[in-house]
């Protein structure tokens, strides 16, 4: 039997915005167009902030305007308590909102808890119960409702079930960068050790949990220019910011020194995606993991090795659309990791064909 396949654009069209808050549908305004009207500075607001929510609500209002509807309520589907939870709370300050946040945890019995209008579940399949709750609460999925679907680890690569290939794409990209910059001196194991160490929450204050910075720091550590044990300087508070870390790195190999210059420049501009070369490879590696294996491959292997559309979210979104709701894809995934560079082939991630696969 063959797998079902589809792409997010089948449901969303180009009603999608990646990290840069530039809707893919050119008729919709983005951060650049809304900045002045909303009294925001030049710096791109980050997911979870009040400013981010204000931009998103204006984009949704414009999308509703295109079809002669008003924005009365928002339903948000995501996968992280912290980022998505904060985004829901910030949106809720502006428009009535309900949320569903899931991460599959097959090791424990199905469970959901409700807090502040948000359902937290340990099964993606519980989204059906969320739908029932909305109905019981008289929070309709009608033409006045915008359904925001987070992309990364929600619409595809479901957290806890199919997120490993999403991470694998990122690690493969990081290793390709490392191999090209460090050449023969690239020590794969040392790099992986440094990457794992730097992903630890105790370094979040320093990396901002930004994968651009985590990967670059891991490259520096594995090059030997800043040995892993020197990271104690970070834990001890002697090196507080990433900029301080960059200036503390001495004797970098030429390729890394050049990258450091680029990253310093991007950080100084407030660019949240300073390591563009890495993100472009992440895009290639992510796309390469979509609809990779032939029909007939066991679903367990597909879920372990390729990135698929989350059937439960796909069906929820389809149902919402049928009832008249606006669907909008929103993600913090950098544009560079999601859209091919100008003049290059390849689909943006929301137009990439994937298998549609759920839990069993
Ligand atoms: Mg996500």
Query: What's the CA-to-centroid distance between 128 and ligand 1, angstroms?
Result: 19
Q: How many Å apart are CA 274 and CA 260, to the nearest integer? A: 10
What is the biggest distance separating any 2 CA atoms in the chain, rounded to whole angstroms?
64
Helix 164-182 vs helix 254-268: angle between axes, to the nearest 10 degrees?
A: 120
CB atoms inside a 10 Å sphere around CB 219:
28
**pLDDT tens readout for residues 302-343:** 999 999 999 999 999 999 999 999 999 999 999 999 999 888
- Residue 182 reports pLDDT greater than 90: no
Query: What's the CA-to-centroid distance between 224 and ligand 1, angstroms?
Result: 33
Query: What's the CA-to-centroid distance between 212 and ligand 1, angstroms?
Result: 17
Query: What's the CA-to-centroid distance between 1 and ligand 1, angstroms?
Result: 30
Percent of the chain with pLDDT over 90: 75
Query: What's the CA-to-centroid distance between 346 and ligand 1, angstroms?
Result: 22
**pLDDT tens readout for residues 199-247:** 887 888 788 888 999 999 999 998 888 888 888 887 787 888 888 888 8
Domain ranges for the chain: 5-161+308-357, 164-282
Task: List the shell of residues around ion ligand 1, using CB closer than 5 Å.
Answer: 79, 150, 152-154
Two tokens at 281?
A: 């490879």
Query: What's the CA-to-centroid distance between 254 and ligand 1, angstroms?
Result: 35
**pLDDT tens readout for residues 50-69:** 999 999 999 999 999 999 99
Percent of the chain with pLDDT over 70: 100
Q: Residues 186, 189, 194, 195: what is their CA dihedral angle, to the nearest 10 degrees?
A: 90
Q: Which of 322, 318, 297 is nearest to 308 (CA)?
A: 297
């Amino acid at each position: 039997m063959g797998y079902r396949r589809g792409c997010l654009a089948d449901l969303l069209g180009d009603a999608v915005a990646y990290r840069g808050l530039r809707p893919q549908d050119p008729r919709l305004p983005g951060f650049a167009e809304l900045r002045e009207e909303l009294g925001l500075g030049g710096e791109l607001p980050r997911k979870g902030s009040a400013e981010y929510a204000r931009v998103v609500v204006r984009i949704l209002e414009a999308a509703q305007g295109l079809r002669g509807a008003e924005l009365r309520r928002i339903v948000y589907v995501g996968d992280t308590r912290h980022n998505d939870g904060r985004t829901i709370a910030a949106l809720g300050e502006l428009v009535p909102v309900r949320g569903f946040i899931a991460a599959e945890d097959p090791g424990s019995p199905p469970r959901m808890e409700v807090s502040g209008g948000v359902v937290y579940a340990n099964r993606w399949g519980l989204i059906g119960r969320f739908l029932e709750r909305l109905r019981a609460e008289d929070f309709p999925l009608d033409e006045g409702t915008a359904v925001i679907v987070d992309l990364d680890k929600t619409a595809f690569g479901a957290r806890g079930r199919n997120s490993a290939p999403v991470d694998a794409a990122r690690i493969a990209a990081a290793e390709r960068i490392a191999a090209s910059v460090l050449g023969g001196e690239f020590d794969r194991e040392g790099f992986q050790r440094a990457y794992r160490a730097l992903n630890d929450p105790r370094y979040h204050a320093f990396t901002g949990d930004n994968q651009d910075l985590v990967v670059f720091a891991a490259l520096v550590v594995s090059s030997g220019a800043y040995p892993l044990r020197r990271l104690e300087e970070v834990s001890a508070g002697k090196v507080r910011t990433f900029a301080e870390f960059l200036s503390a790195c001495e004797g970098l190999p030429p390729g890394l020194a050049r990258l450091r210059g680029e990253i310093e420049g991007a950080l100084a501009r407030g660019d949240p995606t300073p390591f563009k070369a890495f993100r472009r490879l992440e895009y290639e590696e992510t796309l390469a993991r979509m609809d990779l294996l032939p029909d007939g491959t066991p679903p367990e292997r597909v879920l372990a090795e390729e990135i698929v559309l989350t059937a439960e979210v796909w069906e929820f979104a389809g149902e919402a659309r049928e009832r008249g709701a606006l669907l909008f894809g929103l993600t913090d995934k950098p544009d560079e990791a999601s859209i091919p560079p100008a003049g290059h082939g390849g689909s943006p991630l929301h137009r990439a064909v994937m298998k549609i696969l759920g839990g069993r």
